[in-house]
Amino acid sequence: MSITVNHVPVLYAEALDGLHVRPGGRYIDCTVGGGGHAAGILERSAPNGRLLGLDADPEAIALAGERLQRFADRVVLVNENFAHLGEVAEAQGFTAVDGVMLDLGVSAFQLGPAGRGFSFQTEAPLDMRFDPRQSTTAADLVNRLPEDALADLLFLYGEETRSRRIAHAIVAHRPLTTTTQLAQVVAQAVGGRGRIHPATQSFQALRIAVNQELEVLEAALPQAVDLLAAGGYLAIIAFHSLEDRLVKQFLQREARSCICPPGAPVCVCGHRATLRLVTRGAIQPSLAEVQRNPRSRSARLRVAKRLSGESVNQ
Ligand SMILES: C[S@@+](CC[C@H](N)C(=O)[O-])C[C@H]1O[C@@H](n2cnc3c(N)ncnc32)[C@H](O)[C@@H]1O
Q: What's the pLDDT tens digit per position in 25-56?
A: 999 999 999 999 999 999 999 999 999 999 99
Q: How confident is the model at residue 2 (pLDDT cuts 50, 70, 90)?
A: very low
Minimal-distance CA residue to ligand 1 atom 4: 33
Distance of CA 13 to the CA centre of its chain: 18
Which pLDDT belongs to residue 4?
54
Which pLDDT belongs to residue 1?
42
Distance CA 181, CA 125 (A): 10
Q: Is residue 69 exposed (0-12), middle (13-18) or buried (19+ Cβ within 10 Å)?
A: exposed
Distance CA 71, CA 127 (A): 33
Arithmetic mean of pLDDT over the chain: 93
Average pLDDT over residues 192-220: 92
Query: How far apart are the CA of 8 and the centre of ligand 1, in A?
Result: 13
The answer to whether residues 33 and 10 touch, using CB atoms and an 8 Å cutoff, is no
Counting from 1 in the atom list of ligand 1, the atom nearest the Cα of 10 is 8
Distance CA 211, CA 230 (A): 32
Query: How far apart are the CA of 79 and the centre of ligand 1, in A?
Result: 11
Q: How confident is the model at residue 314 (pLDDT cuts 50, 70, 90)?
A: low
Which pLDDT belongs to residue 95?
98
Nearest to 279 by CA among 15, 97, 8: 15
Which pLDDT belongs to residue 196?
80
pLDDT over 50 at 226, yes or no: yes
pLDDT over 60 at 305, yes or no: yes
The answer to whether residues 145 and 153 touch, using CB atoms and an 8 Å cutoff, is yes
Query: How far apart are the CA of 309 and the centre of ligand 1, in A?
Result: 27
Nearest to 41 by CA among 55, 57, 28, 59: 28
Which pLDDT belongs to residue 312?
77
Which pLDDT belongs to residue 191?
83
Minimal-distance CA residue to ligand 1 atom 7: 36
Query: How far apart are the CA of 220 and the centre of ligand 1, in A?
Result: 13
The answer to whether residues 181 and 202 touch, using CB atoms and an 8 Å cutoff, is no
Minimal-distance CA residue to ligand 1 atom 18: 81
Backbone angles phi, psi at 53, to 5 degrees: -115, 130
Counting from 1 in the atom list of ligand 1, the atom nearest the Cα of 39 is 8
The share of the chain scoring above pLDDT 90, in percent, equals 82
Paired with 97 in beta bridges are: 228
Minimal-distance CA residue to ligand 1 atom 12: 31
Q: How confident is the model at residue 192 (pLDDT cuts 50, 70, 90)?
A: low
Query: How far apart are the CA of 53 and the centre of ligand 1, in A?
Result: 10
Counting from 1 in the atom list of ligand 1, the atom nearest the Cα of 7 is 9
Q: Ligand 1 test: best mutation among 75, 130, 242, 247, most atoms within 8 Å of CB?
A: 130
Query: How far apart are the CA of 132 and the centre of ligand 1, in A?
Result: 14
Average pLDDT over residues 131-148: 97
Report residues whose beta carbon is within 6 angstroms of any ligand 1 atom. 7, 9, 31, 33-37, 54-57, 60, 81-82, 103, 105-107, 130, 211, 216
pTM: 0.95
Counting from 1 in the atom list of ligand 1, the atom nearest the Cα of 60 is 27
Minimal-distance CA residue to ligand 1 atom 20: 81
Q: Is residue 298 exposed (0-12), middle (13-18) or buried (19+ Cβ within 10 Å)?
A: middle
Average pLDDT over residues 280-286: 95
Which pLDDT belongs to residue 311?
72
Distance CA 123, CA 136 (A): 20
Nearest to 245 by CA among 205, 224, 274, 218: 218
Please state, as a whole number, how many other Cβ atoms lie within 10 Å of the Cβ of residue 233: 24
Which pLDDT belongs to residue 250?
98
Average pLDDT over residues 166-184: 97
Distance CA 184, CA 141 (A): 17
